[in-house]
Structure 1
Amino acid sequence: MSACLALRGTPMKRVIDVGTGAGFPGLPLKILYPQMHLTLVESVGKKTAFCQHLINRLELTGVDVIHLRAETLGQMREHREQYDWAIARAVAMMPILLEYLLPLVRVGGSALAMKGENGPAESHAAEPAAQLLGGRLRQLTPLTLPGVVETRYLVVIDKVAATPEKYPRRVGIPSKRPLGKKA
């Protein structure tokens, strides 16, 4: 629940968890903050089915499960720049991840990435991509987790300007040609 450190004291009416897998960290956050509306996004059908099963068993309301790629979702009017927070854990390198997350975040909202020991280097290397997508690095918080030797990091990127309409690019392109990387 380390994500709570970054989220506390901020507006959380609409939160989207991209690449949610088995519903982490989105579902635990929903349990802690039942008033928020949560959208879980996952491209693997079995994982979305599991999340829906869990939501039903826990009788959670205000949760949507979407079986789509983030690149597709980020171009859909009903999701583009609609969320207070977009969060992800262990999805991709920062420039790629920001292209998935920032198109979903409203101006004034934020993206939260949970990163490993390379978090600082990854985050600073991704600053050109963040800027291109309307974001700015706000916070890099080191975490020491019980039973984990290496330091983890919470990375917060604020959305300070609208994301240009051409982003996110087509499915697969962000991972093949990350923003800010010389060809």
Structure 2
Amino acid sequence: MALKKAMIIIDKGKGKKETVDVLFNPNEYTLTSGNQYRWKKIPGLSYPIGQFISGESSTLSMDMFFDTYEKGTDVRNFTKKIVGLLDIEKELHAPPVCQFVWGSLNFKGVVEKVTSKFTMFLESGIPVRATLNVTFKSWYTKKEQLQHIPRHSADRTKQRMLNQGEELWMIAAEEYDDPGKWREIARANGIDNPRKLQGGRKITVPRLE
């Protein structure tokens, strides 16, 4: 069975979509994912304490091959469709979000970088063979991300003891899955300077509305 052609589906805005077929399927592609952590050194401990901050955008990178030598036409007529994904779409006021679809792979993102290498030319100087190194970066709205991340926020007021070296952002991350909510804890406990806290203090963890 013939291998299905890869394609790029482009969101043009206002419900409009455009499909660009890749001239030749890539020989390989690379998917990269990662997380961002904050590391805090605690006196007396052998290793720093890690706190998850957020995930990082995944990237999809590959080489796309284009060849129009037999037809004798300008290969840039094909490559410009890929390079053009870096341009601002007038309906969106930003480069378009697109999907790279090939078999079971469906990667949604924006084109972050394209490097064009032209390797064959007609006598007139017109390029007829090119390789594009393309990097897509994942792109999801806040709503889309929250739909895929199960979170459990504190649904009742709690009290806990502050450990030596522990900070409010650590408690917020543990209780709310959001280190940025440390201000809610500071407000509930009348804490003006969260950097000057003594271990052993009783802390109220308020219920989030």
Same fold (TM over 0.5): no
- Judging by fraction of residues, say which structure has more strand: 2
Higher relative contact order (CA 8 A, sep 6+): 1
TM-score, with structure 2 as normaliser: 0.20
Pick the structure with greater CA Rg. 2
What is the TM-score when the length of structure 1 is the normalising length? Answer: 0.22
